[in-house]
Amino acid sequence: MANEKKRLGNILVNAGKITSYQLQDALKSQKILGKKLGEILVDSKIITEDEIIESIEQQTGIKKVDLNTISFDKKAISIIPQNLCNKYILIPFGFENNKIKVALADPLNIFAIDDVAISTGFEIESYISKKDDIRKFIEVYYSSQQVSMAAKQLAKESSQSKNTKNNVEDIDDVKNAPVVKMVDYLFKNSIEMKASDIHIEPFEHEIRIRYRIDGQLQTANVLGIDSLGPLVTRIKILAGLNIAEKRIPQDGRIMIKIGNQDIDLRVSILPVVNGEKIVIRILNTANYKVGKEKLGMSEENLAKLERIISNPHGIVLVTGPTGSGKSTTLYTVLSELNSNNVNIVTVEDPVEYTLMGINQVNVNTKAGLTFASGLRSILRQDPDIVMIGEIRDNETAEIATKAAITGHLVLSTLHTNDAPSSIVRLVDMGIKPYLVSTSVVGIMAQRLVRKICDKCKKSYEANEYEKEILGIDKDKPLTLYKGKGCGYCNNTGYVGRIGVYEVMEITRKHREAINSGENSDVLRDISVQNGMTTLGMECRNLVVKGVTTMNELATITLIKE
């Protein structure tokens, strides 16, 4: 190994990246610390990892590869075991001319290359890549593979123990039980993939595991149906549910720590034809720690939101479908309003993120603590600001309206398509129009649209139909963008999401229209005249700017504008 380290030092000296003195100094440190030479040079800020990669590529001809921009061949992944990948920090990604392509953090390590060649029986074609990228993709691809391997091991053990009685207590090391490993890898993989939900779906002969990533479901694993019983039982035990009850739906919660992240998992179990279907909502507390500037709002919308929440009393509504980021927006607004001179109380189902200085109440329907009963109690707690997780029924809506009229600022969510239709929804719930017009001060509708992946973004000329939808003259040239699909975006063409908002401030004209019983179209027209940009307008701007695609625009503009 010493020869290999000197070789890296010589490469960097020959490339003019470090001096001979710096090399000798680093080699002395290496003897004391026992670290790799490259790590010592990077930690000492003498050279960057990119400069080392560039020097090795120039001096040795070993090509560099950006793992974020390529498609991985799953066969290559299955050939090299994970322990070798972790030991030498390497990952296979494809085949060429009967050689297996391997990205290494240290391609000068001949022992690593020999070890992999002996293990696989293939000749190795070495590439160099960043250490963090290699580790990231080991987690992504091997944890998915480990779920399948644990399922096979479980099926094997089940068939061997059919004639013998086995209890969990009889297992010497429960942590090494295949079902425990399978669930652990399942959670780890979903978090690495930045999923918001895990769906475990039983069918006649197989179990399909899907993750919701950036709002879209993607299949992660297909397992044998034999794994269903132990898998459901394990998740029920973790969530504190009744393992013997299989006929009725059950809900529970699991708290886990992965790395430095505290992850809250909300478990929902539903009996279906072929067994029990499990959906696990992943609540990552880090996602709620955003300032209002990071919500992705335009300056005009941000100014409107500030004016709305600066009202001393009234109802402020955030509307949109499930998974549109309403909770994040509400928590951000609450953080802005939180100060020593106000009493803020919330009633939520469930409390997704605890905020310091805010009194949060968890709905418990079994014990009779509903939104309505919780809200009644809250109003006896001398609050200045009240947040209700959701206005679901007439009773909650009535109490919220009375609270707003009696001098409280009330924040809540509502499930409607856009901001103007929220007024109609409240009236439909049985609230008198004059009460709606005097209590509601502002409504914000929002959606999340997927952003085009920067690594595989490509341009194309818009056709006449696309120009017509975007409101662009058909004779004018227009360049639009879409993602081709690569390893970084899991071949979807999208990475991450951005908020699209329409903020409706209630003016005197709005109040007159509400009192006259006007429909949502009239309210929308008044809002647009008042300077409101609709969800469709906002998304069209993002398409023209190259942030998102025409397909994403189609998902939010169901209403003709």
Task: Annotate 317-358 with three-state secondary structure.
Answer: EEECCCCCCHHHHHHHHHHHHCCCCCCEEEEECCCCCCCCCC
* CB-count exposure of residue 390 (10 Å: 0-12, 13-18, 19+): middle
The predicted model gives 61-81 an average pLDDT of 84
Residue written as token pair 């010493």:
2
Q: Are residues 187 and 329 in the same domain?
A: no
Question: Does some domain include residue 547?
Answer: no
Question: Does some domain include residue 453?
Answer: no
The predicted model gives 108-124 an average pLDDT of 89
Q: Are residues 249 and 394 in the same domain?
A: no
Question: Does some domain include residue 335?
Answer: yes
Q: Give the separation between CA 311 and CA 313, rounded to whole angstroms.
A: 5
pLDDT at residue 327 above 90? no
In the DSSP assignment, the letter for residue 232 is H
Compute φ and ψ for 34, nearest 5 degrees: 75, 15
The predicted model gives 222-251 an average pLDDT of 92
Task: Please give the pLDDT value at position 287.
Answer: 61
Question: Does some domain include residue 127?
Answer: no
Other CB atoms within 10 A of residue 119 CB: 13
CA distances from 193 to 110, 203, 208 (A): 32, 24, 17
Q: Are residues 224 and 365 in the same domain?
A: no
In the DSSP assignment, the letter for residue 364 is B
pLDDT-derived band of residue 30, with 50, 70 and 90 as boundaries? confident
**pLDDT tens, residue by residue, 516-554:** 999 999 999 999 999 999 999 999 999 999 999 999 998
Task: Please give the pLDDT value at position 34.
Answer: 75
Q: Are residues 325 and 388 in the same domain?
A: yes
CB neighbours of 526 closer than 8 A, spacing ≥ 6?
A: 507, 509, 510, 513
Q: Tell me how many helices (H) and strands (E) the chain has.
A: 21, 18
pLDDT-derived band of residue 4, with 50, 70 and 90 as boundaries? very low
Q: Give the separation between CA 418 and CA 279, rounded to whole angstroms.
A: 28
Q: Are residues 371 and 509 in the same domain?
A: yes
Q: Are residues 264 and 389 in the same domain?
A: no
Q: Which residue has the higher pLDDT, 199 or 188?
A: 199
Task: Please give the pLDDT value at position 57.
Answer: 84
Collapsing DSSP states into helix, strand and coil, what is residue 440?
A: strand
The CATH code of the domain that includes 386 is 3.40.50.300
Q: Are the beta carbons of 330 and 499 closer than 8 angstroms?
A: no
Question: Does some domain include residue 22?
Answer: yes
Q: Are residues 351 and 424 in the same domain?
A: yes
Count CA atoms closer than 13 A to 242's CA, side-chain side.
Answer: 8
What is the pTM (predicted TM-score) of this model?
Answer: 0.75
CB neighbours of 89 closer than 8 A, spacing ≥ 6?
A: 104, 105, 106, 131, 134, 135
pLDDT-derived band of residue 158, with 50, 70 and 90 as boundaries? low
Collapsing DSSP states into helix, strand and coil, what is residue 519?
A: coil
Task: Please give the pLDDT value at position 173.
Answer: 45
Domain range enclosing 251: 136-157+176-284
Q: Are residues 280 and 303 in the same domain?
A: no
Q: Give the separation between CA 99 and CA 5, rounded to whole angstroms.
A: 26
**pLDDT tens, residue by residue, 456-495:** 899 999 998 888 888 888 888 999 999 988 777 877 889 8
> Reduced to 3 DSSP states, what percent helix, strand and coil does the chain have, rounded to the nearest 5?
45, 25, 30
Number of domains in the chain: 3
Collapsing DSSP states into helix, strand and coil, what is residue 31?
A: helix
pLDDT at residue 238 above 50? yes
Q: Which residue has the higher pLDDT, 236 or 8?
A: 236
Q: Is the peptide bond before 81 cis (omega within 30 degrees of 0)?
A: no
- Polymer length in residues for the chain: 561
Any alpha helices (H) in 34-81, and if so which ranges?
A: 37-43, 49-60, 74-79
Task: Please give the pLDDT value at position 175.
Answer: 55
Q: Which residue has the higher pLDDT, 16 or 208?
A: 208
Domain termination site, one of 28, 45, 61: 61
pLDDT at residue 164 above 70? no
Task: Please give the pLDDT value at position 354.
Answer: 81
Q: Are residues 436 and 308 in the same domain?
A: yes
The predicted model gives 497-504 an average pLDDT of 93
Q: Are residues 213 and 315 in the same domain?
A: no
Of 529, 549, 555, the residue nearest 470 (C-alpha)? 549
**pLDDT tens, residue by residue, 277-304:** 999 999 876 666 667 777 888 899 999 9
Task: Please give the pLDDT value at position 445.
Answer: 95
Task: Please give the pLDDT value at position 242.
Answer: 94
% of the chain residues with pLDDT over 70: 93
Task: Please give the pLDDT value at position 309.
Answer: 93
Question: Does some domain include residue 475?
Answer: no
Q: Are residues 214 and 145 in the same domain?
A: yes
The predicted model gives 329-351 an average pLDDT of 90
Q: Are residues 269 and 150 in the same domain?
A: yes
pLDDT at residue 333 above 70? yes
